[in-house]
Amino acid sequence: MAITVKFFANFRELTGREQERIEGAKNVASLLDELVRRFEERLAEQLYSPGTRKLRGTVNILVNGKPIRLLQELNTPLKDEDVVAIFPPVAGGKLTSDELKRYSRQIIIPGLGKRGQLKLKRAHVFVAGLGGLGSPSSIYLVVAGVGHLTIIDAQQVDLTNLNRQVLHWELDVGRSKAESAVKKLLAINPNVKVDSQLKRITPKNVNKLIKGADVVVDGMDNYPMRYLLNETCVHNHIPFVHGAVEGFVGQMMTILPGEGPCLKCAIPKEPPKKPVFPVLGATPGVIGCLQAMEAIKLITGVGEPLVGRMLIFNGRNMTFNEFRVEQNPNCPVCSK
């Protein structure tokens, strides 16, 4: 039996080829052993943690398009004519020739450049929620080359999600949003690392979850969760890009801890809850894209972030307005 292995990005340079046929590998572990035999230790260094045969957390391996992290790792069995794709770690200090080409149209943006692109490659963004806002924001973060994205959602895809949650398709109904999203995102850009977590964010786990993130993007649909993210980001000094939508109307604001008001300063009390709120898909499409743009600006240092300003988009009369938000000296979250 023969397996086709496809190499991406750095691995192409390391092995000098785009793909390789391997015979006799019964599972992913034995396939990797054979690759290391063929391409020597320089490949082993990229694949495994130093001095071990443990796969690096930054290496992504897909078997027939399915990430093996979802399929129980290295003992994943292989059969004749399977296709295994291997994507390299992204922590590297340089942009590969593939990446320079892929991102060439944004690298030429004044102020962004290769330096900004490298910052994106080294960045870690946490997208909380994979619904109407999290779908477009994670897509635009991934296509821009953010090197490490953590996405989280505890829910399954429902038919009523499909009018706005564009990462999930008809064939995903009933599947977990985390699994549905990671597949699409890695198919869009295999050069980045995407961690997906099938989890609810709680006051107990939130600190650990967002630890190490450079930016947190609000893709939630309720205020208790947004307030929890806001508070945790303020306390951990992590920039937080808030977004919310209803019907044709959306809002967003960037919270830079220590440099401006927080979400609780802007909206001290939770607006009245609705069991089901109306929403047209294009509204979170607009706001989610803008949230991705804010995250990219924060990472690259390009432009001026939406700090101390709440942006209100109204699709009904197609207006963008903003109002100033002052820091509340008695804010329970961000005052000293």
Tell me the two tokens of residue 71.
């399929």
The string of DSSP letters for 194-226 reads EEEE-----TTTHHHHHTT-SEEEE--SSHHHH
- Shortest separation between residue 205's beta carbon and Zn ion, angstroms: 23
Q: Which stretch binds Zn ion (CB under 5 A): 94-102, 216-224, 258-266, 312-320?
A: 258-266
Exactly one of 265, 286, 295, 306 binds Zn ion (CB under 5 A); which one?
265
- Shortest separation between residue 160's beta carbon and Zn ion, angstroms: 34
262 sits near Zn ion (criterion: CB under 5 A): yes
- Shortest separation between residue 305's beta carbon and Zn ion, angstroms: 16
- Shortest separation between residue 230's beta carbon and Zn ion, angstroms: 8
Q: How far apart are CA 170 and CA 186, in angstroms?
A: 19
334 sits near Zn ion (criterion: CB under 5 A): yes
What angle (nearest 5°) sits at the alpha carbon of residue 135, between those of residues 131 and 138?
Answer: 130
Close Cβ partners of 171 (under 8 Å, ≥ 6 residues apart): none
> Nearer Cβ to Zn ion, position 178 or 334?
334
Q: How far apart are CA 94 and CA 49, in angstroms?
A: 20
The string of DSSP letters for 109-138 reads STTTHHHHHHHHHH-EEEEE--STTHHHHH
Strand 215-218 with 240-246, pairing: parallel
* Number of residues that this document lists for the chain: 336
> Nearer Cβ to Zn ion, position 39 or 240?
240
164 sits near Zn ion (criterion: CB under 5 A): no
Residue 96: CA atoms inside 13 Å, Cβ hemisphere, count?
A: 20
* Backbone φ and ψ of 10, nearest 5°: -50, -35
Q: Which stretch binds Zn ion (CB under 5 A): 115-123, 127-135, 257-265, 284-292?
A: 257-265
> Nearer Cβ to Zn ion, position 244 or 286?
244
> Nearer Cβ to Zn ion, position 142 or 255?
255
> Nearer Cβ to Zn ion, position 102 or 264?
264
331 sits near Zn ion (criterion: CB under 5 A): yes
- Shortest separation between residue 267's beta carbon and Zn ion, angstroms: 10
- Shortest separation between residue 254's beta carbon and Zn ion, angstroms: 13
- Shortest separation between residue 125's beta carbon and Zn ion, angstroms: 22
Q: How far apart are CA 332 and CA 26, in angstroms?
A: 58
- Shortest separation between residue 325's beta carbon and Zn ion, angstroms: 9
Would you give the binding string for Zn ion spanning residues 4-33, x where CB under 5 A is met?
Answer: ------------------------------
264 sits near Zn ion (criterion: CB under 5 A): yes
**Matching residue, tokens 């619904």:** 131
Q: Which stretch binds Zn ion (CB under 5 A): 45-53, 140-148, 170-178, 325-333?
A: 325-333
Residue environment code for 218-245, b if the CB has 16+ CB neighbours within 10 A, otherwise e:
bbbbebebbbbbbbbbbebebbbbbbbb
Give yes or no for a contact between 191 and 141, defined as CB atoms under 8 angstroms apart.
Answer: no
How many chain residues interact with Zn ion (CB under 5 A)?
6
Bridge partner list, 307: 254
Q: Which stretch binds Zn ion (CB under 5 A): 151-159, 246-254, 263-271, 303-311?
A: 263-271
Q: Which stretch binds Zn ion (CB under 5 A): 66-74, 205-213, 256-264, 313-321?
A: 256-264
333 sits near Zn ion (criterion: CB under 5 A): yes
The footprint of Zn ion (CB under 5 A) covers: 262, 264-265, 331, 333-334
